Amino acid sequence: MQPAQFAVFGHPIGHSLSPQIHRAFAQQFGIALDYRAIDVAPADFAAAVQRFFAEDGVGANVTLPHKAAACALASQRSLAATRAGTANVLTRLEDGQLAAHNTDGAGMVRDITERHSVDLRGHDGLLLGAGGAAHGVAWNLLDAGVETLTIVNRSPAAADALADAIGEPARAHTRYWEDLADLGSFDLIVNATSAGVLGGSLQLPFSLAGARALCYDLSYGVAASGFLAWAKTAGARYAIDGLGMLVETAADAFELWHGKRPQTDPVYAQLRRQYS
Ligand code: ATR
């Protein structure tokens, strides 16, 4: 019998760790699976996904730049996917239609609170960026007890749109990027911009990092290095990349597809050796 078919769709996708993570999870349970990385340009994404599921695909991860398109393709959406307007997991339903999930925010919060043992309750948070990645984590940060979330984006309209969508003005509000030096300090700073992924860097004032600051970059590897170096120089208590988040979000996808909860720590430890 052919093993069950899974895939991750992205563009580019060459360096995706998802195949390695899902194969490692599957090994924990002796599950046979075929997990491929599929590089597809935005114009071809919908057709490629439909072909994959028509040819017995069971589940797919979706990464940049397809997360919004993945959400739009589905006929059912989880609350997290609906709120974010993006999806990183697609699952085939019994009638052949697709369900969209977004496990990014839950994975990030679990990485912070469980792996790094930081309680987010009562934190004043700063969210840098208001694109797809920021949408994927904003609600989860508030649900985890972050007291206030200040959203700052280079283009203010996108920050306003995210704050409006959250609809809790006393807790989630926006400020201008140009005013970062005047905002005082934060306990939590989340870099959800794509500056590092695009090979750029952020010019951030050191005054942003408070004494107990946790600085978290949603990316990992070279893309996260600039922000994490800034955080360390600024004296942040924690400077954490998104590698643990990636493993946690994958674990949620794995559980959706296989009904089993994998152990994430050994897989995280293995990847950490690759991205020290
Ligand atoms: P993603 O899915 O990774 O979030 P996105 O939806 O394109 O990708 O969003 C990218 C985010 O990074 C946006 O908030 C973008 O700011 P703008 O809305 O002003 O474009 C932000 N970003 C990208 N490069 C940046 C840079 N050099 N400085 C500051 N913000 C940057």
- The answer, as to whether pTM is greater than 0.85, is yes
Where along the chain do its domains lie? Answer: 4-102+247-274, 105-241
Q: Which amino acid does the sequence have at 111? A: D
Say how many Å lie between the CA of residue 208 and the centre of ligand 1: 19
Give residue-wise pLDDT tens across range 30-73: 999 999 999 999 999 999 999 999 999 999 999 999 999 999 99
Give residue-wise pLDDT tens across range 142-170: 999 999 999 999 999 999 999 999 999 99
Give residue-wise pLDDT tens across range 66-108: 999 999 999 999 999 999 999 999 999 999 999 999 999 999 9
Evaluate whether the domain defined by 4-102+247-274 bears CATH number 3.40.50.10860: yes
Mean pLDDT computed over 230-239: 97
What is 105-241's CATH number? Answer: 3.40.50.720
pLDDT score at 14: 84
67 belongs to the catalytic site: yes
Give residue-wise pLDDT tens across range 190-199: 999 999 988 8
Say how many Å lie between the CA of residue 205 and the centre of ligand 1: 18
* Given the residues 22, 66, 67, 123, the one annotated as active site: 67
Q: Is the CB of 203 within 6 Å of ligand 1? A: no
Mean pLDDT computed over 239-243: 98
Percent of the chain beyond pLDDT 70? 100
Q: Which residue has the tokens 């152990």?
A: 263
